Chain A
Amino acid sequence: MDTLLRFEDVSIGFEQPVLDGISFQLARGETKILLGEAGTGKTLILKLALGLIKPDAGRITTLGEVISEMREQDMYLLRRQIGMVFQESALFDSLTVEENVAYRLIEDTGRITDEIHARVLEVLEFVELAQTYNLFPSELSGGMRRRVGIARAIISQPQVLLYDSPTGGLDPVTSNTIIELVVKQRDIYKTGSLLVTHRLQDAFTMASHYFDRRLKKMVPLEDGSRRDLHTSFLILREHKVIFEGTATQLLRCHAPYLREYLS
């Protein structure tokens, strides 16, 4: 199916309205970056997409299933095809890195088989943390934990990836490493993803760089390049979507709030 996620007129509020009539779609292979000030409900959109919370109004269709009308027990199989990276990485602190990353795979076999171990190392290699598989999350730095969180989300090759502020609270150097990983995942595996961030620089980096497989690193797009990164922005303000489009369109937009937000 071509549409991974569809939000139709979704509204939700806790004592105050947070989201009001949000509608958008995420197509296969597309990356949408959710931007907006803190408290505009960006994280809520991710939780709604996963069915962790139910909306007050509207319909949410995830991977072809109307998740806003499903019972909790029925959502578990669907969620196995979605990967989420949490803001504080939310690693299981009494399990090792390997057990954390292999969590979904262990569900099927009950223990870490040789095959699972190999897969874990492969995915840890992708996030450049292969030597940490025996450590506990408390022994890792914030950035490393974030990368393990990414490894845990991508190991089962999900159809959609949801990133919740993957660079939140990290220093610029580490943030860049994380963004490079997200770009690498986007360009090599072409997984559809929804990324929430309030850092404009990360969003523009993603929209203007790609992962070069030969050089094995992230490089900027050349001027006038026709390469389509399938990356667009969705900006939220005061419970509504005020902009949806590519980076180029955003820079050309004249709306006063957007100009202020961009500066």
Chain B
Amino acid sequence: MAIISLNDIAKDKVEAVQEYSLLAGRSLSNLFAQPRYLADTLLQADSIGVGSLPIVVLIGLFTGAVLALQTSSTLQQFGSLSLTGQLVSLSMVRELGPVLTGILVAGRNASGMASELGSMKVTEQIDAMRAMGVDPTKKLVTPRLVATVIMLFFLSIISDFVGLVGGFLISNFLLGLNPNQYWSRAYQALRFGDVFMGLSKPVVFGFIIASVGCYYGMTARGGTQGVGRATTQAVVSASVLIVISDFFITKLLMGIFHY
């Protein structure tokens, strides 16, 4: 059995990054050339956006509720329970809404993309597509990319709002806060920088989810085992990249908006 050297592993990793970058770049440049597969994009948007809606609402609701619950004891110590609305609003919009939604959609859709494209790859369907003169990046990858970015944007907004509702339910019925106190605080606390941060993150995360999912799918090999491996790696990589990029985006935007 040949021992794989560190050199080979490093080369493989660099090649993987190269292939990924080429795929991501090409799927973006496809937006500027015909043919554009609008029907496929809409189908994907339906599957990614509308399909993820119930679970995003559920997670958003309970996250907002838990936020309010967990922080209530600490806030109460300082007599600042009225700040709950502000706290839930800022946490959801700036951070938890985009990131949790992103990780959720990564788990649901990056795996779906990797397994669907991976299965097509190992059964020669991608080659058949190429042989028939249809560009798989235009037909398969770009629609998924566009659909994910757009849908994640709206899903994050919905998640933010539902999170606020969850926080409200807890503050009103459990903590005895006045609705006006909660909602006015929640609304006034948000500044342009917060909203910008909360809406720019889904765009980046959406790009990561779709490009990573499609990359692992298109490079799958080794039959069903390979597809399974590709699916797992897609979810893990997408989730990790989301969390890491979240840190850098936050740091960057905090610098830009002078926090």
Binding site for B on A (CB under 8 A): 47, 50, 52, 73, 76-80, 82, 84, 86-88, 90-93, 103-104, 107, 110, 152
Contacts and interface: CB of A to CB of B under 8 A. Distances in A.
A75 B49 CA distance: 34
B215 to A, nearest CB: 16
A104 B125 contact: no
Given A78-B133, A79-B131, A103-B134, 14 more contacts: A47-B127, A52-B127, A76-B130, A79-B132, A79-B133, A86-B127, A87-B124, A88-B124, A90-B127, A92-B120, A92-B128, A93-B125, A103-B132, A107-B133
Interface of B: 35, 39, 120, 123-125, 127-135
A152 B129 CA distance: 11
Given A107-B35, A110-B39, A50 B125 contact: no
Contacts of A91: 125, 128
A84 B133 contact: no
Nearest to B126: A90
B135 A90 contact: no
Contacts of A80: 132-133
A107 B134 contact: yes
Contact of B131 (A50, A87, A93, A110): A50
B134 A90 contact: no
Given A107-B35, A110-B39, A76 B124 contact: no
Contact of A90 (B35, B39, B123, B133): B123
B209 to A, nearest CB: 21
Most chain B CB inside 10 Å of its own CB: which residue of A50, A80, A87, A90: A90
A76 B127 contact: no
A148 to B, nearest CB: 12
B135 A73 contact: yes
A86 B133 contact: no
Contacts of B129: 92
A90 B130 contact: no
Contacts of A77: 133
Contact of B134 (A76, A78, A84, A88): A76
Contacts of B39: 110
Most chain A CB inside 10 Å of its own CB: which residue of B124, B125, B128: B128
6 contacts: A76-B133, A79-B133, A91-B128, A103-B132, A104-B132, A104-B133
Nearest to A111: B39
Given A107-B35, A110-B39, A93 B123 contact: yes
B228 to A, nearest CB: 18
A91 B129 CA distance: 9
Contacts of A50: 130-131
Contacts of B120: 92
B7 to A, nearest CB: 17
Contacts of A52: 127, 130-131
Nearest to B33: A73
B109 to A, nearest CB: 17
A100 to B, nearest CB: 9
Given A107-B35, A110-B39, A92 B133 contact: no
A153 to B, nearest CB: 8
Nearest to A46: B131
Nearest to B29: A73
Nearest to A76: B133
B246 to A, nearest CB: 34
Contacts of B127: 47, 52, 86, 90
A53 B179 CA distance: 65
Contacts of B125: 90-93
Contacts of A152: 132
Contacts of B128: 84, 86, 90-92
B159 to A, nearest CB: 30
Nearest to B128: A90
Contacts of B135: 73, 76
A91 B120 CA distance: 10
B40 to A, nearest CB: 10
Nearest to B139: A107
